A and B are shown apart, each in its own frame.
Chain A
Amino acid sequence: MRPFHDAARFYERPTGLVGRSPLRTNAESAVTRFIIRRLLSSVVVILIIITLSLWITRQAPSNPCLQEREANACACIKEHALDRPIFPVHNPPPLTPLEGCQYWESSGSLVLGPIEVLPLSEWSETQYVIYVATLLQGSLGGSMVTDRTVLETLGAALPYTIQLGIQALLIALLIGVPAGLIAGLRQNTLPDYGVMTVAMVGVSIPNFVLGPLLIMLFSLKLGWFTAVGWESWSDSVLPSITLGLFYAAYIARLTRGGMLEVIRKDYIRTARAKGLTEQIVVLRHALKGALLPVVSYLGPAFAALLTGSVVVEEIFNLPGVGTHFVRSALNRDYNLVLGTIILYSSLLVVLNLVVDILYTVLDPRVSYDD
């Protein structure tokens, strides 16, 4: 970001992209080029993530088929073997037999004959090729533990995680921005100290402490909310607060910092000199500049809220993606682990892209050219 050259012109400029016709086409094509460039690099990033994840999951000791008591592990390994194409692959690479196991392709009670597979827990190029081919077919494979597909499982969980993330973000904004503004406008007064102390505490309290505290008070003692699960909207209140409060505290600090910086600018003095009321000065002129740091933080924050709800989902027993992320790793459910990683990394990439684009709306001087 370049420094303000002409602050007075900045605040008089109309908001948004409306009414800038001469610049418009140029800006639009720059944006399009930027988006395409970013999308392409995103694909590469995700491909690298998939490769690394596929390799790393195989390095974890044990495999999804091991049970406490003797189990039909051979059959399990073969049922889930990734080396077995789940759809026709042209010229499939040769397969090596899994020691001690002969797989019988069975369809109902009809036995077709033995085929050979590789050990499930070992990395192989074959697995990689097949996995990527599976992705290209629009599938994430089947869970190695349950009878469901990864797409089904994540599809059922994602709406909850997204709603939780949005609500937590709203709470963070609705608490954080006003609190930060109050603190910023009343610098070094009691409200400022009060708000910033609370924000400091808010940043410091981990959600695995806050969550149980809220449950204790509002579910067990007062009985206002259910303690676990997500049946109706009210069940999402405590989790959203638990998740959002850290961000509220952080946003309060950002807003205060932004406000302190902006409020001393020349264009604010100009606005005041024009005789505008303090309300208009703050809301129309100062606020936009003060919120820039907050806006640039929103993307990472939202991404962090979506991917960081693991603990909150566990505490409140929510049917979200985070719970799957933890459980699938513990179960060595390779396909579900990979599916979750792909989902999370795609969310991160897309959200960062969206934020970069939105940034122009608030600050048109941000350039998309290299």
Chain B
Amino acid sequence: MVMISAKTMGKRALAGALVGAMALSVWGCDKKQPAAGGQGEARGGQAEFVAGSEADMFTFAVAADPQTLDPGRMSGAPEGRIAFNLFEGLMMPGPTTEDLDDASELVVPGVAESFELSEDGRTYTFKLRDDAKWSNGKAVTASDFERSWRRVLTPDFPSDYQSFMWVIQNAEAFSKGEVTEWSEVGVKVIDDRTLEVTLTQPTPYFPELVAFYTFFPVPMDLVEEKGNDWTRPENIITNGPYELESYREQQDLLLKKSENYWDKANVALDQARIRIIQDTNAAVNAYRTGELHWSGTSLPVAQITGLLTHPDYMQEPMLGTYYYRINVTDEESPLTDNRVRQALAMSVDSRSLVEDTMNNLFTVANHFVPQGLPGYESPGEGITYDVARAKELLAEAGYPDGEGFPRIQLLYNVDENHKLIAEAVQSMWKRNLGIDIQLVNKEWRTYLQDVSSMNYEIARAGWIGDYNDPMTFLDMWETGNGNNNTGWSDEEYDALLNQARAERDPAQRMKLLAQAEAIVLERGPVIPVYYYTNNVLVSRFLEGFEPHNRDIHLLKYMSLPEAPAAEGTEASE
């Protein structure tokens, strides 16, 4: 004991800690009382810890190592969190998505200081600002964007979001190798400061797409020179408010304010540390011990429940729906009968699921498209809890009181939340309809394979919208869409979506989309359960952190006034 503590002890308390640890473990392993008491006290005096009091700069967590720092190839949440601060697109996401009057407020100018939209709604002309620079001091030009977008559209380029660019004229054909001349694709460099983009259809959400990382510019000379190694900290060149200073796998990334950024005067945080904390328990622990200013990721029910009254707890609405999808391809299965699907949907009490099962952490969903999209009005009441009607429908379909209904399976991936919901739904269907279902839980990757190969009957699913427009929730149910995974197909539905795509009048377009959503709810393959929310811990002293329904939070908007003196932390010196 002495040998260990004598080695490099920095803190006086440490020697005591060792002795204490050994006392606990060697001489009194059954003395669990002190530890349990500690937990009780910590809960009782929650406000005692001060977020970030132990951190030497603004610090937040991401849930995994970034798979890549290449915005053209990335697709996950940790990657996005980093890319939005290292790079800048023509437009950038604004600070918040709440209480906006118009969808145009979702984005703010980035590298482009302005854009013009043609009369037919198909041609965007972006005017780039003069002072936009790469971190090596070179100017960001229109051709940087053109070359970067061309790279993403290269056939078989490993980008999961390549299809976001398909709204551009001939982009899809080019990426599939059907068009080989790049000049036929609707991206034109007019001059260094002007980029003209022609779309196939009027796409009102295009500015928000352009503010997404797949559309961010990459330093093409460097990319061509170094290949995938261009993103290494020693190589990487970025054009956003921050530069990458270092990256240590499984540990952290350090960001430093870029001296070449055009808007650096308005960037308050000089540096930031992004810690990689994979386990949410560990993230909460790190937050409680003052190592984080922001938990970064949404915390699961079990961990957030004890902190709901803490002043740092924050709930953001999210553009996402938790739902069950139904496989309609098996001719033998009763699930091909829409009356059965409706009966199942109507006998799920989503209010009880949210309030009783999920501790009110989420929002009840009766529709598939989340509420609050600017300009969009959800069709009617949506799917409401109506056991009597559900019973009627089931009887009409030939299964009065569930008689003769086969034992179907409900698939979900291993997770405490999913399990709780599935068990509640199982008992609702048993109680309300008299049908038995079997719960099947599988490990994540196996679950993905079962869903994508449609080897399931009913499966838990979640969908997070990619932009603030109903289309991101509706196009997945089109015939043959790669995210459909149910085999459901409806001609009228497909026609409505195509009509909406061609529609120039925004109000009329939204009406068409609402009609389409009504069809999905009436005869589609979905049972909405709840709308996601983001349940995070974020320092109450952090300014400029506003709710964003796609969980995009740019450090650029945040500031951390001189941290108040840490209270009640004498034990940590």
> Interface residues, chain A, CB within 8 Å of chain B?
60-63, 66-72, 74-76, 78-79, 101-104, 106-111, 145-148, 152-153, 156-157, 167, 170-171, 174-175, 179, 194, 198, 201-202, 205, 210, 212-230, 232-234, 237-238, 241, 245, 248, 314-320, 323-324, 327, 330-332
Complex partner residue of A314 from B67, B155, B279, CB under 8 angstroms: B279
* Chain B min CB distance to A74 (Å): 6
Min Cβ gap A64→B in Å is: 8
Q: Give bound CA distance, A229 to B273, whole Å.
A: 13
Contact A174/B3 with A61-B445, A224-B16, A228-B286 known, Cβ cut-off 8 Å: yes
- Residue B448 at the chain A interface, CB threshold 8 Å: yes
Task: Other than A70-B482, A108-B227, A217-B34, give 4 A-B pairs with Cβ distance below 8 A.
Answer: A78-B156, A221-B571, A229-B275, A318-B250
Question: Is there contact, CB below 8 Å, between B16 and A66?
Answer: no
- Are A223's CB and B572's CB within 8 A? yes
- Separation in Å of the B79 CB from the closest CB of chain A? 10
Residue B26, interface by CB 8 Å: yes
Cβ distance B17 to chain A, nearest Cβ, rounded Å: 4
Binary contact readout B343-383 vs A (1 if CB under 8 angstroms, 0 otherwise): 00000000000000000000000000000000000000000
Contact of B282 with A147 in the complex, beta carbons under 8 Å: no
B17 partner, pick from A148, A222, A324, beta carbons under 8 A = A222
Say yes or no: A109 contacts B147, CB within 8 Å. yes
Complex contacts, B147 vs chain A, CB 8 Å: 109
Q: Do A216 and B35 form a contact, CB below 8 Å, given A109-B154, A221-B41, A327-B278? A: yes
Q: Say how far B197's CB is from chain A's closest CB, in angstroms.
A: 18
Q: Which residues in chain B, 8-55, are within 8 Å of chain A measured between CB atoms?
A: 8-11, 13-14, 16-18, 20-22, 24-27, 29-30, 32, 34-35, 38-39, 41-42, 54
Instruction: Knowing A108-B151, A218-B17, A314-B279 are in contact, say whether A71-B251 is a contact too (CB < 8 A).
Output: no
Residues of B within 8 A of A66 (CB): 445, 448-449, 452
Residues of A within 8 A of B158 (CB): 72, 75-76, 78-79
**Bound-state Cα–Cα, A366 to B30, Å:** 42
B27 touches A104 (CB 8 A): no
Contact A108 B289 (CB under 8 A): no
Specify which chain B residues have a CB less than 8 angstroms from the CB of A215 in the assembled complex: 285
| Complex: A232 Cα to B14 Cα, angstroms | 13
Task: Point out residues on B near A: beta carbons under 8 Å.
Answer: 1, 3-4, 7-11, 13-14, 16-18, 20-22, 24-27, 29-30, 32, 34-35, 38-39, 41-42, 54, 64-70, 75, 147, 150-151, 154-160, 162-163, 177, 220, 223-224, 227-229, 231, 248-251, 275, 277-279, 281-283, 285-286, 288-289, 291, 443-446, 448-449, 452, 462-463, 481-483, 569, 571-572
B231: A residues at CB distance < 8 A: 147
- A104–B154 contact, CB under 8 A? yes
- B-chain residues with CB within 8 Å of residue A223 when the two chains form the complex: 289, 569, 571-572
The answer to whether B35 touches A319 (Cβ under 8 A) is: no
Are B286 and A214 in contact, CB atoms less than 8 angstroms apart?
no
B445 touches A332 (CB 8 A): yes
In the bound complex, what is the Cα–Cα distance between A194 and B27 (angstroms)? 8
Query: Cα distance A60–B220 when bound, in Å?
Result: 38
| Known contacts A108-B223, A202-B29; is-contact A153 B249 (Cβ 8 Å) | yes
* A219-B289 CB under 8 A given contacts A74-B156, A237-B18, A330-B444: yes
Q: Which B residue sits closest to A67, measured CB to CB?
A: B160
User: Across the interface, do B1 and A68 meet the contact criterion of CB distance under 8 Å?
Assistant: no
B67 x A146 contact (CB < 8 A): yes
A226–B54 contact, CB under 8 A?
A: yes
